[in-house]
Amino acid sequence: MESCLNGKPEHHEPIEVEDICRNLQDEFAALPAQVGPPMRGGGGVCHRSEFTIKPPVFQQDVSQSENLQVYLRIRPITAAEGAESQSCVRMEGSDTVILRDPRSFLTNRQGDKPPPQTAQRFTFTQVFAPESSQRTVFEGSVHGLVRDVIQGGNSLVFTYGVTNAGKTFTFVGPEHDSGLLPRSLSAIFSSIEGRLYSRSDLKPQRCRDYSRLTAEQQTAQITSKRNLLRLFFPRLTSQNRRA
């Protein structure tokens, strides 16, 4: 840990991607073999009617009143991933998911006897199902934070997940179905509509401070901004001059 914090971790042997994959699978199976209460498979997602649940390894029990809120969005399974992948993830209420060991599906494909069904339970502030719309995710997660920011609060929002998990889709989204960032900006700009200061005699300084400009300083500012625009967008500014 120390070497990670102080700089690049030292690797004595080359790490191969295949090794990492194998290790992760072993980790899944190497949990303490404590058997939890049997659970009825509901919603038609689980193939078996019962399976054992191992004790949670990551129980992030985050209440709304805490500063840190962790949301999980499950994206729809793609055709390439196959419908059977859907069976790996099952929602239990609005804040919990059950993950099943994917090896059981792989072994089934090869015709071997499937290993005992094992699962892990993860709890979040809220879990969004694959069919959740961008609007539902925004209103259920970030909307309240944006309101706080408009009132002067501070918030940090980030997405975290493996490649192809849906981070960009959730954060930015396609043009016709915008994600968290455009929705947040739209809420912020709507909130200041009609309250914009239209004169150009204030100049922001550092973070929160500002200075009032004299008439000469305003002229100098306007000239320097026009020059910059001409430099970067010569065609646009010459069209404006003609109009």
Ligand X SMILES: Nc1ncnc2c1ncn2[C@@H]1O[C@H](COP(=O)(O)OP(=O)(O)OP(=O)(O)O)[C@@H](O)[C@H]1O
Interface ranges with ligand X (CB under 6 A): 75-76, 161, 163-169
In the complex, the smallest distance separating the C-beta of residue 127 from ligand X, rounded to whole angstroms, is: 13
**Per-residue 3-state assignment (H helix, E strand, C coil) for 54-93:** CCCCEECCCCCCCCCCCEEECCCCCCCCCHHHHHHEEEEC
Q: Return the number of the residue (38 or 76) whose C-beta is nearest ligand X.
A: 76
Q: Which residue is nearest to ligand X (CB)?
A: 166
In contact, 177 and 171? CB cutoff 8 Å: no
In the complex, the smallest distance separating the C-beta of residue 132 from ligand X, rounded to whole angstroms, is: 7
With 0-12 CB in 10 A as exposed, 13-18 as middle and 19+ as buried, what is 128? buried
What angle do helix axes 215-232 and 234-242 make, rounded to 10 degrees? 120
Q: Which residues are annotated as a binding site?
A: 161-168
Q: Return the number of the residue (149 or 169) whose C-beta is nearest ligand X.
A: 169
Q: Which residues are annotated as a binding site for ATP?
A: 161-168
Q: Return the number of the residue (77 or 99) whose C-beta is nearest ligand X.
A: 77
Q: Return the number of the residue (42 or 76) whose C-beta is nearest ligand X.
A: 76
In the complex, the smallest distance separating the C-beta of residue 170 from ligand X, rounded to whole angstroms, is: 6
In the complex, the smallest distance separating the C-beta of residue 178 from ligand X, rounded to whole angstroms, is: 13
Residue 211 CA to residue 11 CA, distance in Å, equals 53
- List Cβ neighbours of 236 (8 Å cut-off, separation of 6 or more): 229
Strands 202-205 and 126-128: unpaired
